[in-house]
Amino acid sequence: MDERKFTGEEVRTEVQRLLQSMKYQLEEPHIPKEFMGKPDFYGKREEGGTTHAICGLVINDIKEIPRGVTHLWTIKRQLGEDIDYVIVL
């Protein structure tokens, strides 16, 4: 049985579509230009007077998880604790 492999861009597109269906407004996070730790996706949504934010990376291989965790940790240092951080494989 042949397994279809999705490209990182295809996964990123579907993640963004899912987040938009959940009423997230996708935007660029407030990270300095010179900072190298940009996420693949970032969005916010309002619910009951509370702002929910999500930030994440798309990786192509399980072997990339340690690097992805380090990348997210670096982003978290810039954006803070009040965001949900995810890795999509």
62 inside domain: yes
**pTM above threshold 0.85:** no
Is the distance from CB of 26 to CB of 41 less than 8 angstroms?
A: yes
2 inside domain: no
Is the distance from CB of 79 to CB of 61 less than 8 angstroms?
A: no
Predicted local confidence at residue 36, as pLDDT: 65
1 inside domain: no
Predicted local confidence at residue 19, as pLDDT: 95
61 inside domain: yes
pLDDT of residue 30 exceeding 90: no
Q: What is the pLDDT of residues 44-74, one digit of tens each?
A: 999 999 999 999 999 988 999 999 999 999 8
Number of domains comprising the chain = 1
Is the distance from CB of 84 to CB of 52 less than 8 angstroms?
A: yes
CB atoms within 10 A of CB 32: 8
Q: What is the DSSP letter of 30?
A: -
Alpha-carbon span 26 to 28, nearest angstrom: 7
Domain containing 29 equals 8-88
